[in-house]
Structure 1
Amino acid sequence: MQLRRKTIAIGVLALLLIAIYLFTGISSNWDYILPSRGMKVLAIIVTGGAIAFSTVIFQTITTNRILTPSILGLDSMYLLVQAGVIFWFGSGSIVMMDSQYNYLLSVGAMIIFSFLLFKWLFRRGENVYLLLLVGIILGTFFSSLSSFMQVLIDPNEFMMVRDRMFASFNNINTNLLWISILLMLIAFVSYLPLHKYIDVMALGKDQAVNLGVPYDKVVQRLLIIVAVLISVATALVGPVTFLGLLVVNLAHEFMKTYKHRYLFLVSIFFSIVALVGGQLIVERVFTFSTTISVLINFVGGIYFIYLLLRENKA
């Protein structure tokens, strides 16, 4: 009962912030402003939900609350695609001018990269920790290659790449939003048959295997779901590196439970609170002089350092 009350409390807080964002500060042009804000809120729910959901799964697989799916190198892959398109084809190419082509290319590249990486490693019988190590190495390589391309391109075109480095909800393409929702629903439906294993997997590989979980098969399917969700969220608005780390750890601290049905909901609610609150600050306090990802990464980075220091003391 107490867990339900806590979940409802965070849900109410998320709804309250959404209402404040939607309905405050509108003096005229309701027909334009309200739908525009509504699309931003929907994009926030989609992005925040995908990142929070995938981070909970990823931390359960790795049994580590400091790691996030960004360690797989998907954010670096996204930036490499953006820089590579401009480097080879220029800013006037159809991929840069048409957001739908750019979205499909980005999502496709990240998902294909993840699938090939998972298939190669698990076919060799390797474990998740080698996957993390390879992800760090490839992510660093992609980031270095992207930086090299950015140095060589025209300064005006570099500004286009820089804009893609930070998440933004200010210009959301409606068609891309519906495609993202569809892909998220497919990922969620794919997850449902695996939900019965997730609480047991939090105990670790040995315990999960002893309790009858087909561990390797489940992990492979869960990692593909994680890759799809992160790819969709990143391609839709851009990378938000520390959001998953921040909201999932807050959910663990607030709920004090191993039950994933509560952790999923509260992590998503915290994600909505962080993104809607951050968007309010960006628009009403900083008047669009910064981006929401800068705020989230600033707070998340401080919280990450706190977690490291706390683990070191323990």
Structure 2
Amino acid sequence: MKPESPLRRLAIAGGLALALLVAAALAMTVGPGEFSLGEVLRTLATELGGGEVDRRAHGILWELRLPRVLLAVLVGASLGAAGAVTQGLFRNPLASPGVLGISTGAAAAVVAGFSFGLDERALWATPVLAALGAVAMLGALFGLTARRQDLAYLLLTGVALNALAGALSTVLLAIFLDRYDLAQKAMAWMMGSFDGRGFRHLSWASLPLLAGLAGAWSLHRPLDVLVLGEETAATLGVERGRLRLGAAVVVGLLVGTSTAIVGVIGFVGLIVPHLARAAATRAGRGLAHARLIPLSMVVGAALMLAVDTLGRAMSPTFLAPGALTSLLGGLFFLWLLRRETEVG
């Protein structure tokens, strides 16, 4: 296969970016209030140019839909990248933050924060707790699966940790059963939604998520070497402990911050890397992590944008993105598990 030219790479990246921008613009036309694509583009251009904008268009398009769309893109890219890193780290196509309990660990930590009112005392409490919960669950996975690398053991360990974290959330809600506000807030948050999110949420989530995305891409070389096996990777200079620590920090940032800002969005980290690999294979490109991770970011952003737009389009019934991804992801996981079992 001929090496890919820099010009071709630039053209592909530009095409993907343009497609994502068009999808984002189209997503802003969906929802209460009739706006055509032309009206959306004119309003955004006027806002960016500092001109006078109709108050209704400003309130709906600029204040409500634009931050929601940007947050969907950022969260989708983050969960996609986290999934690619997790699968590369465990060298397993069935590994993902949702399947292995990492997302549930982040959720349990946040529910604990809700229960004791920590989220009301400091704005940073929820994202910090979510990141710590994700890192703690990933650390538990490392410890429990260090001596066994087979698929069944990894999945069973993930299922067990998922159940434990879910049980912890349930116990906390049962203890504070008399607090209706807590149950309502926790249940709405655990369904995963971009509802009510604005520029304030986008501003404080952007820095840790962008740092996590940069960190995910920086792991592409050691993850490529790790495909050859841990012993071979060690002889080529990849330190196992350092790689695991770096991956834990990156996945903790990406999953923890995403979970803290929009709630639990399941199975995106499982589906997206497979879609990215399929797209790379169809295009005749390699599957190195230097390409897989950025492609997973783009596919994840597009998937999350599509899911949120579909949920908003189902008026008057609103379907939370987390519920929809869990439904689609569960079916995809069953199909993938059956395929991997047949291949094995």
Kindly indicate whether residue 322 of structure 2 is the aligned counterpart of residue 293 of structure 1: yes
1:31 corresponding residue in structure 2 = 58
Amino acid at match of 1:33: I
Kindly indicate whether residue 193 of structure 2 is the aligned counterpart of residue 147 of structure 1: no
The change in CA–CA distance for 1:72 and 1:242 in structure 2 (over 3 A counts) is closer
Shift of 1:280: 1.6
Of residues 249, 274, 299, the one that matches 1:249 is 274
Give the 3-state SS of the residue equivalent to 1:100 in structure 2: coil
- Structure 2 CA distance for aligned equivalents of residues 8 and 286 of structure 1: 34
Once the two structures are overlaid, the 10-residue window that deviates more, 98-107 or 272-281, is 98-107
- Structure 2 CA distance for aligned equivalents of residues 267 and 10 of structure 1: 12
Shift of 1:117: 4.8
Kindly indicate whether residue 245 of structure 2 is the aligned counterpart of residue 236 of structure 1: no
1:186 corresponding residue in structure 2 = 211
Kindly indicate whether residue 276 of structure 2 is the aligned counterpart of residue 276 of structure 1: no
- Structure 2 CA distance for aligned equivalents of residues 193 and 289 of structure 1: 38
The change in CA–CA distance for 1:191 and 1:147 in structure 2 (over 3 A counts) is closer
Give the 3-state SS of the residue equivalent to 1:306 in structure 2: helix
The change in CA–CA distance for 1:192 and 1:50 in structure 2 (over 3 A counts) is closer
2:20 corresponding residue in structure 1 = 14
Kindly indicate whether residue 84 of structure 2 is the aligned counterpart of residue 75 of structure 1: no
Of structures 1 and 2, the larger Rg is shown by 2
What is the aligned residue count? Answer: 306
Amino acid at match of 2:25: A
For the 8 Å contact 2:96–2:270, the answer to whether it is kept is yes
Amino acid at match of 1:215: R
- Structure 1 CA distance for aligned equivalents of residues 128 and 218 of structure 2: 29
RMSD over aligned Cα atoms: 3.2
For the 8 Å contact 2:135–2:248, the answer to whether it is kept is no
The change in CA–CA distance for 1:240 and 1:104 in structure 2 (over 3 A counts) is closer
The change in CA–CA distance for 1:84 and 1:243 in structure 2 (over 3 A counts) is same
For the 8 Å contact 1:13–1:273, the answer to whether it is kept is no
Spell out, residue by residue over 1:9-50, the C-alpha distance to the aligned partner (whole angstroms, 9 max, x if none): 544432221110124632772111221211012211221121
| TM-score between the two structures when normalised by the length of structure 2 | 0.76
Spell out, residue by residue over 1:207-256, the C-alpha distance to the aligned partner (whole angstroms, 9 max, x if none): 32233322332232122211221111111111111111111111111212
Shift of 1:289: 2.5
User: Any unmatched runs of 5+ in structure 2?
Assistant: 37-53
2:291 corresponding residue in structure 1 = 262
Q: Percent identity?
A: 21
1:63 corresponding residue in structure 2 = 91
Shift of 1:279: 1.6
Larger helix percent: 1
- Structure 1 CA distance for aligned equivalents of residues 278 and 138 of structure 2: 33
- Structure 1 CA distance for aligned equivalents of residues 315 and 271 of structure 2: 22
- Structure 1 CA distance for aligned equivalents of residues 263 and 316 of structure 2: 20
Amino acid at match of 2:126: Y
Of residues 156, 164, 178, the one that matches 2:180 is 156
User: Any unmatched runs of 5+ in structure 1?
Assistant: none
Of residues 242, 247, 263, the one that matches 1:217 is 242
- Structure 2 CA distance for aligned equivalents of residues 193 and 6 of structure 1: 21
The change in CA–CA distance for 1:116 and 1:199 in structure 2 (over 3 A counts) is closer
Amino acid at match of 2:319: T
For the 8 Å contact 1:59–1:67, the answer to whether it is kept is yes
